[in-house]
A and B are shown apart, each in its own frame.
Chain A
Amino acid sequence: MSLTLKKIFETVCGTLAGLALLGIMVLTFFDVSGRKILSNSIPGSLELTELLMVVVIFGALPLVSLKGEHVVFDSLDAVLPVWFQKIQQGLIHLACAALLFGLAYLMWQTGADIASTGETTAQLKIPKAPFIQGMGVLCGLTALVHIVKAFSRQADAASEGGTL
C-alpha cells in the first residue's frame, strides 16, 4: 500500500471510530446528568449509543488488522526459520481475508433482508439496514487489509493481549 493511501485510510477509519466514541461519551454524559439532575433524559439515547457502538467497533477493525494488533500466539516464532514465517504469515493473512470476506457478504445480505422489511430503531425510527450493511463494508475493507499484508514484505511484529 502506498504511504499516502495508507495515511488517508488510517485517517478516515480513525476519525470515524474516534468521533463515534466521543459521541457515545458525550451522549452518555448529557443523558445521565439530564436524567439525574433535571429528570429529563435525551430521547433515543440508548439506541443512538447502540448505533454508534457499531461504528466504533467496525470502524476501528481495519486499523486493528492494519497494525497487527489482534491477539496472536507467537511462541513458535523463535524456532521457525524466517523464510517459513513469511510464507506462513502470507497464508494466514489470506485465510483471515477469506473469513472476513465471507462475513462481509453475510452482513451485507443480512442488511439487505432488513432493508426489505424496513426495520428501524424503536424510538427515533432510524433505519438499521445501512448500519448492518456498513458492518459488511468495513469487514470487506479489513479483508482487503489482510490481502495487502499477505503480499507485503514486512513481517508482523509480535503482539499479545494488549488490554489485560
Chain B
Amino acid sequence: MTEALLGFLAIFVLALLRMPLAFSMGLVGIVGIGLTRGWMPAMASAAQVVHETGFAYTLSVIPLFILMGNFVARAGLAHELFHAAYTFIGHRKGGLAHATIAACAGFGAICGSSIATAATMSKVAYPSIAAGGTLGIMIPPSTILVIYGIITETHIGKLFAAGVLPGILTALLLMLAVVVMTWQDPEHAPAGEKFSWAERFKAIQGIWGVLLLVVLVLGGIYGGFFTATEGAGMGATGAFLFALARKALNWEVLLEVLVESARTTAMLFTLLIAATIFANFVNYTSLPFELKDWITGLGLSPIMIVAAMMLIYVLLGTVMEELTMVLLTIPLFFPIVVQLGFDPVWFGVLIVMVIQIGLISPPVGMNLFVLNTLLPQVGLSNIFKGVWPMVLVLVITLGILLAFPSISLWLPSMMD
C-alpha cells in the first residue's frame, strides 16, 4: 500500500514542478512497476498499453465527436442558437440569462465540451450566467462521459442516455436560480423585447438542420441502430456537410479544424495512456484492496460512502484540474462503487456533475478563466462573486441526482 501512496505523492510533486500531468503519471507508473516488479515487466507493460490504446477501434469515438463539435462551432451556430432561444424566452425577466442557459444546453448537445461551450456562448451572451457552459459536458455527447465509459468499460450509449435528464434538470434549476436572482435585483436583469411567432420560426430555420443531426445521431445510438463509434462518424460527417453547406469551410479552414481536433485527441490520449500505465501500477499494489476493506469496514451505509466520495471530489475540484482528478481517482473509487452494488452508469453521471461544479468553482475554475480572457472588462473577482449562486445550484443538483438515481437511470433502462 505504501508504494501506491508514494506514487500518488510523486505525481503531485512532479505536477507541482509543472511537469505535464500525462508525463508525471506515465513516469511514476513505469518507475513504480519497475521498482516493485522489475524493469522488464515495466517496459513490457508500458509498450503494451501504448500499443493497445493507439490501435483501438472503439476509441475512435473520441476524435469523431470532437470533430463533430468543431465543425458545428466553425459553422457559426452558437449565435443562431442563442438568437433562437432569445426569441422564445427573451422577453421574460432576466430573459437574456434564460436564453443563454437554454442556448448553452443546446450547444452542449452538439459540442460535448464545457469549456468550448462557455467560450462560444460568452462571446454572444451575458457573462455571469455562462455557468450554463458546464452543461456541455452533461448533455451528450460528452467527452468526459466517453472517457469514463472507456476507462471503466461502461456502455457509452447508456451513459449518454443517462446524461440527458440530469442535463435538462441542471438547465432548469439554473434558470430557476436566475428567476430568484432577478426577483431580488430586477435592474440587473432586464427583460428583452418580445418576438412574434413568425420571427421565432424564422430563428429556428437556421438551426433545425443541426438539431435534426443531433437527434439522429443520439437517437441512433440510444436506439441501438448505431454503436457509439458509428454514430460519432455519421455525426462528424453530417456536421462537415452542414458546415460545407453554410460555406463556412475552405481548404484552409478544413485543415485547421482537422488539426485542432487531432491535437485535442493527442492530448487526451497521452493522458489516457499515462493514466492506464499508472493504474496498472496501482493495481499491482495492495492499495485498492486495503482501501476497499477499510471503507466497507467503516460500517457506513453505501449511499453515505458515495456521498463522501462526492464531497471529496467537490473539495478537490476547487483546487485541482478536473479531468486529472477523475483519471487519478477512478481506479480507486470505481471498484468500491461497483462492489457496493451501484450502477456504474449512475456513478458516471455523478462524476460529470462533480466536474461541472469543479469547472466553475473558484479559485481554480477553468470556465471562469475562459470568461475572464474573453471579457477582461468584467474582472475576475466580479466573475467569482457572480458565480457562487450557480455553484450552489449545481451542488443542490448533485444532491438530487445522488438521492434519486432513477433520474439518471430511467432513460438508459429503456435501452435494454
Please report A residues at the B interface, Cβ cutoff 8 Å.
Answer: 14-15, 17-22, 24-29, 31-33, 36, 46-47, 49-54, 56-61, 63-64, 67, 69-77, 88-89, 92, 95-96, 99, 103, 106-107, 110, 131-132, 135, 160-164
Can you give 20 A-B contacts (C-beta < 8 A)?
A21-B262, A21-B265, A24-B233, A25-B236, A27-B233, A50-B56, A53-B56, A56-B63, A57-B54, A57-B266, A75-B364, A96-B19, A99-B23, A99-B26, A103-B46, A107-B51, A110-B47, A110-B51, A163-B115, A164-B137
Most chain B CB neighbours (cut-off 10 Å) among A27, A88, A163 = A163
A-B interface, 10 closest residue pairs, ranked by CB to CB distance from nearest? A28-B233, A18-B258, A70-B20, A60-B266, A17-B262, A60-B262, A14-B259, A29-B237, A18-B259, A50-B55
**Residues of the B chain whose Cβ atoms lie less than 8 Å from the Cβ of A47:** 57
Q: Is the CB of A24 within 8 A of B55?
A: no
Interface centre among A17, A56, A63, A73 (most CB of B within 10 A): A73
How far apart sit A152 and B211, CA to CA, in the bound complex (Å)?
Answer: 47
- Interface assignment of B234: CB less than 8 Å from any CB of chain A: yes
1/0 per residue, CB under 8 A from A, across B231-242: the answer is 011101100100
The answer to whether B22 and A73 have CB atoms under 8 Å apart is no
Chain B residue total in the interface (Cβ 8 A): 68
CB neighbours (8 Å) of A71 from chain B are 20-22, 267, 271, 321, 323-324
A95 touches B19 (CB 8 A): yes
B318-348 with Cβ < 8 A to chain A: 319-324
Beyond A28-B64, A28-B233, A29-B233, is A164–B113 a contact (Cβ under 8 Å)?
yes
- B113, B262, B366 — which one has the most chain A CB atoms within 10 A of its CB? B262
Q: CB distance B18 to A92 under 8 Å? A: yes
Q: Which residues, 114 to 173 on B, are CB-close (under 8 Å) to A?
A: 114-115, 137, 143-144
Q: Tell me how far the C-beta of B381 lies from the nearest C-beta in chain A, rounded to whole angstroms.
A: 15
Known: A29-B234, A71-B271, A92-B18. A164 touches B115 (CB 8 A): yes
Contacts from B to A (Cβ < 8 Å):
15-23, 26-27, 43, 46-47, 50-51, 54-57, 59-60, 63-64, 66-67, 113-115, 137, 143-144, 225-226, 229-230, 232-234, 236-237, 240, 254-255, 258-259, 261-271, 319-324, 355, 359, 364, 366, 369
Number of A-B contacts (CB under 8 A): 198
B266 touches A63 (CB 8 A): yes
Q: Out of A19, A36, A58, A164, which one reaches B144, CB within 8 Å?
A: A164
- Looking at A17, A52, A59, the one whose CB has the most chain B CB atoms below 10 A away is A17
Q: Which residues in B have their C-beta under 8 angstroms from that of A46?
A: 57
Q: Which residue of B lies closest to A65 (CB)?
A: B20
CA distance A73 to B57 in the complex (A): 31
Cα A69 to Cα B143 with chains together (Å) = 17
B232 partner residues in chain A, CB cutoff 8 A? 28
Bound Cα distance A103, B46 (Å): 8
Are A51 and B261 in contact, CB atoms less than 8 angstroms apart?
A: no
List residues of chain B with CB within 8 A of the CB of A15: 255, 259
Question: Given that A21-B67, A49-B57, A103-B50 are contacting pairs, would A73 and B230 also be in contact in the complex, using a CB cutoff of 8 Å?
Answer: no
CB distance from A111 to the nearest CB of B (A): 9
Q: How far is the CA of A64 from the CA of B255 in the complex (A)?
A: 16
Beyond A54-B55, A163-B268, 10 additional contacts (C-beta under 8 Å) are: A17-B263, A24-B64, A26-B237, A28-B64, A60-B263, A71-B323, A92-B18, A95-B19, A107-B51, A161-B323
C-alpha gap A132/B234 in the complex (Å): 29
Query: Contact: B270 with A28, CB < 8 Å?
Result: no
Q: In the complex, A63→B20 CA distance in Å?
A: 15
Chain A residues near B26: list those with CB within 8 A: 99
Contacts of B254 in A (CB 8 A): 22
